[in-house]
Amino acid sequence: MTPTKKILLINGPNLHLLGKREPDIYGKTTLFDIQKRLADTLISHHISLQCLQSNHEGVLVDKIAELGLLADDGGFDGVIINPGAFTHTSVAIRDALMAANKPFVEVHLSNIHAREPFRHHSYFSDKALGVICGLGDIGYDMALVFLCKHLYGISL
C-alpha cells in the first residue's frame, strides 16, 4: 500500500554535518540516523517522510513550493523544520511555508535561547504549531509525535 499521508522534514544549513560538527553542542547522531529513525516510526502507520536538507535558501524555498503548493497530489500534510542558521535570517523560507499553508513544528537541537544573542530570534516561531529546542535529536521525535497527533489523530 502506498502511503497517502506525507510529512516533510526540512533541515537547513550544516545539518548534513550532524555527528561530526561540534558534537558537544549538536550531539553525535547523524542526520541520516535521525531521518531513518523517523521514517521507521511512520512506516507502520502508512505515513511517508520526505527529507530535504540544503545549505541554500533558494533551494529550500523552491522545494517547499514544489512539494506543497505546486504539487499535483496535494503535497505534504505538515512539516518538521530545523531551519538551522536560516532561523534568524530567512523571511523567504517563512513566506514559502506560509504560502504552502500547512502546519509545521520548529525544531532546534540546541537551546537557541541559551546561546549567542543573535540566535534568540526566530522568523518561524510565531507561525509554528510548536517549537522544540535544546533537547538534542529527540526533539525531532517529539515533533513527529505531536504532528501526527495533530494531523491524523494518531499516537505513535
Q: Positive or negative, the Cα torsion across 43, 132, 106, 109?
A: negative
26 is catalytic: yes
> Using CA atoms, how far apart are residues 10 and 51, in angstroms rounded to an integer?
6
> Using CA atoms, how far apart are residues 141 and 156, in angstroms rounded to an integer?
10
H or E element in which residue 106 lies: strand 104-108
16 is catalytic: no
Query: Which listed residue (16, 26, 56, 123) is catalytic?
Result: 26
Query: Which listed residue (88, 108, 113, 152) is catalytic?
Result: 108
Parallel/antiparallel/unpaired status of strands 78-82 and 104-108: parallel
Q: Positive or negative, the Cα torsion across 154, 107, 30, 32?
A: positive
List the catalytic residues. Answer: 26, 108
